[in-house]
Amino acid sequence: MENGVEKKSGINFKIVLITLLFLAAIGAGAYFGYNKFLKGSSKSPNVVAQNNSSSVQTQQTSSQGNSSSSSYLQQVVAKYTFDLGDFTVNLADEGGKNYLKISAYLGYDDKKLNEELTDKKPMIRDAVIDILRTKKVSDINPKYMDNIKMQIIQKINPMLENGRLNNVYFDDILTQ
């Protein structure tokens, strides 16, 4: 009889151990999934900046600096790029004497998105201009560029039906 009791307690110990390992694996997966996918898609600061074009709100959003979006954009390398061309816009500084000249490319992974981007290029360029015109000279520096890129992605992605953008690349940046 004692052997029967020892076998049963050994089986119970294995079940408890397997259950704990399973729960630990689920917890680790949930933690990784949250940090990788959900934490970077927090839209509240960027949506405020998009919906309210006042320069005060935009400056506050830019000065917060979204470190999770920054790390996301630095990790993502798109398969394909789409050339939006050059943009020359007046910046939102006092007096309106400062301007920005920039070349932009959209990054994406789905090849079928190229045709849609070509068809919607005027609307996309208008969306990018809307975002860039709300910036000040102080916003155009490496510290805030990833925030600007995320704003562009979040404004353009709802326009697209055949895929999603995953990055924005700037080739030339000139402010004066």
CATH number for the domain harbouring residue 158: 3.30.479.30
| 58 shares a domain with 12 | no
What is the model's pLDDT at position 7?
60
Per-residue pLDDT, 86: 96
DSSP 110-139: -TTHHHHHHHTHHHHHHHHHHHHTT--GGG
Query: Does residue 118 share a domain with residue 170?
Result: yes
- Residue 165 and residue 84 share a domain: yes
Structural domain containing residue 28: 2-41
| pLDDT above 70 for 62 | no
Query: Across residues 35-41, what is the average pLDDT?
Result: 62
The token pair at 24 is: 């630990």
Sign of the torsion angle spanned by Cα atoms 27, 33, 34, 35: positive
- What is the average per-residue pLDDT within 42-58? 35
Q: Is the pLDDT of residue 176 over 90?
A: no
pLDDT at 84 > cutoff 80: yes
- Do 22 and 52 lie in one domain? The reply is no
The arithmetic mean of pLDDT across residues 20-46, rounded, is 69
Tens digit of pLDDT for each residue in 98-151? 999 999 999 999 999 999 999 999 999 999 999 999 999 999 988 889 899 999
